[in-house]
Amino acid sequence: MTHPNKSAKENTEHIDAAVIGAGFAGLYAVYKLRELGLTLRAFEKGTDVGGTWYWNRYPGASSDSESWVYSFSFSEELEQDWTWSKRFPEQPEILHYLQHVADRFDLRTAFQFETSVTNAAYDESTNRWLVTTDRGERFSATYLVTAVGCLSAAQVPDISGREKFQGLSYHTGEWPHETIDFNGKRVGVIGTGSSGIQAIPVIAKTAKHLTVFQRTPNFSVPSRNTALSAERVGEIKRNIKDIREFCRWSTIGQPYDFKQEEALQLKPEAVEEQLESDWQKGGFEWMFGSYSDLVFNKEANDLAADFVRNKIRSVVSDPKTAERLIPQGYPIASKRLPLDQGYFETFNRDNVTLVDLRETPIESIVERGVQTNETVHELDVLVFATGFDALTGPLTRIDIRGRDGQSLKEKWSHGPSTYLGVASRGFPNMFMITGPGSPSVLGNMPTSIEQHVDWICDCITHMREAGTTTIEPDAKAEETWGAHVQELANDTLFVQVDSWYLGANIPGKPRVFLPYIGGFGAYRTLCNKVAEKGYEGFALN
């Protein structure tokens, strides 16, 4: 706390590094920066560690990554001691894991909780970052490390009358800590992205009635989540080093990768048989451990899309509802592909209604519920499963100012500009963990996070050894990287749909493909080469 009689300058605490965020990224950054012997302070809005898994406590919240890789690999002892109960870990277990990591490595002591970083300004004269919090404290840091997450800025749609609703309303990404009882309640869910698809089957089981408001039908693949047997756990633990190494160099950081053959080179019956067999296994492997042309070639993608469309028809009893649920007009997996546990089956329940917003759009939210152009859907609880201002939102919601007071938000007003997704010109000594222009959300994020933190710490070590005090990207390197990120995306089907990967869920957000789509392994190679060549593309002074 600041002393009332001291000037702001005197009250400024000097540290080597300021870290923002206490999710996977912030925790690992604190661990590694401490190892380097840096003095640091870390800040977190929430009351505890966990990030995504602290905030997203909605019913059914779960990871779609296989548990044994959705975790840290930096400590062999941690890896061997911790045992996941299920193939896909659920929110309480992941939160427990991150709390365990924080305790085990004494990371909480670095953090100041219930503290938002509101401003961070680079001071050219001192070559330091002045970090200000919503508590009015000031910290002067050599390095600014943002671990703010890619999906931490919850987005509520601008529907008129929201404040008038007399019932309870929640955003899935800012879920309350107490259990919400849906028993006997009329519940509405707006949004059928990954969070909605996870929450809907669970809410339907207890709600008196559930109304699902769907704007865009979504593809979804069954997760077939199961408990891990002691035998399976033993096998994973024995092989974990190899599994991790495979993930590091794979396309999406998961323990599967594309098959050698392409679907279009095979007979349709053979492809169908393979898709069916992978469908029974569940998980992302169905798409991302399958033929690579499914992601890149529209004709091949249609095979997978039609396969899912037929599955929806076979599961949903009412043909009209089935047709409303079937996605049309965009390639499968070009939007974030959800995994589900009985999502389509939920629409066979008597207590569930699907409202297709393309036929009957929402006009406003009223006291009693949601008003469409047809009727008022009366509700006691309204759930916004409406996603996030992804990748850029968590950074631009902080007033970050670089050289000459330039604001990051203004610099990125036409789309984010970064080098390797880790740094941005004009913002010296600021490092972003899984920033826009890095693979981040296109795969298993802990794999990405560890790579980024390791790279950043190696870079800081290099600077300290070389006596270098400032690092920032060259204009040319940043421009070339931005063009490369867009070029790679333009070669895929991902740009053929409006998705949050392109910022399309946020009114006015420039349509720019945000993550790097060249694959985790390829990206790691590029980052390593940059470092080997003395941080090529960066100006070090």
What contacts 303, CB < 8 A, 6 or more positions away?
263, 268, 271, 272, 275, 294
If binding is defined by CB under 6 A, does position 380 make contact with ligand FAD?
A: no
Residue in the structure block whose two tokens are 């006997």: 184
Closest to 60 measured CA to CA, from 176, 197, 227: 197
Check if the beta carbon of residue 430 is closer than 8 Å to that of residue 460: no
If binding is defined by CB under 6 A, does position 63 make contact with ligand FAD?
A: yes
- Can you tell me which of 31, 54, 72, 500 binds ligand FAD, judged by CB under 6 A? 54
Residue in the structure block whose two tokens are 């024995």: 238
Least gap, CB of 40 to ligand FAD (angstroms): 14
Binding part of the chain for ligand FAD, among 15-23, 316-324, 506-514, 526-534 by CB under 6 A, reads 15-23
Which CB, 44 or 137, lies closer to ligand FAD?
A: 44
If binding is defined by CB under 6 A, does position 141 make contact with ligand FAD?
A: no
Check if the beta carbon of residue 256 is closer than 8 Å to that of residue 289: yes
Binding part of the chain for ligand FAD, among 41-49, 123-131, 262-270, 465-473 by CB under 6 A, reads 41-49
If binding is defined by CB under 6 A, does position 190 make contact with ligand FAD?
A: no
Q: Which of residues 79-138 bind ligand FAD (CB under 6 A)?
A: 116-117
- Can you tell me which of 46, 283, 415, 428 binds ligand FAD, judged by CB under 6 A? 46
Least gap, CB of 152 to ligand FAD (angstroms): 4
Q: Which of residues 391-430 bind ligand FAD (CB under 6 A)?
A: 394, 398
Closest to 108 measured CA to CA, from 24, 40, 49, 51: 49
Which CB, 21 or 436, lies closer to ligand FAD?
A: 21
If binding is defined by CB under 6 A, does position 143 make contact with ligand FAD?
A: no
Binding part of the chain for ligand FAD, among 3-11, 64-72, 234-242, 327-335 by CB under 6 A, reads 64-72
- Can you tell me which of 147, 362, 370, 457 binds ligand FAD, judged by CB under 6 A? 147
The CB density around residue 387, as the number of other CB atoms within 10 Å, is: 25
Binding part of the chain for ligand FAD, among 6-14, 22-30, 212-220, 469-477 by CB under 6 A, reads 22-30
Q: Give me the amino acid identity at 273.
A: E
* DSSP-derived 3-state class of residue 36: coil
**In angstroms, rounded to a whole number, what is the distance separating the alpha carbons of residues 73 and 177?**
29
**In angstroms, rounded to a whole number, what is the distance separating the alpha carbons of residues 396 and 487?**
24
If binding is defined by CB under 6 A, does position 175 make contact with ligand FAD?
A: no
If binding is defined by CB under 6 A, does position 64 make contact with ligand FAD?
A: yes
Least gap, CB of 389 to ligand FAD (angstroms): 12
Which CB, 65 or 321, lies closer to ligand FAD?
A: 65
Please count the residues of the chain: 541
What contacts 260, CB < 8 A, 6 or more positions away?
none
**In angstroms, rounded to a whole number, what is the distance separating the alpha carbons of residues 305 and 279?**
13
Which CB, 218 or 321, lies closer to ligand FAD?
A: 218
CB-hemisphere CA count at 13 Å for 388?
Answer: 25
Least gap, CB of 153 to ligand FAD (angstroms): 8
Please give the sequence-ordered ranges of beta strands (E in DSSP) within 330-478, or none if there are none: 339-340, 352-356, 362-366, 369-372, 376-378, 381-384, 399-401, 430-432, 471-473
If binding is defined by CB under 6 A, does position 505 make contact with ligand FAD?
A: no
For ligand FAD, the binding residues (CB under 6 A) are: 20-26, 43-46, 51-52, 54, 56, 61, 63-65, 70, 116-117, 147-152, 173, 195, 394, 398, 434, 444-445, 449
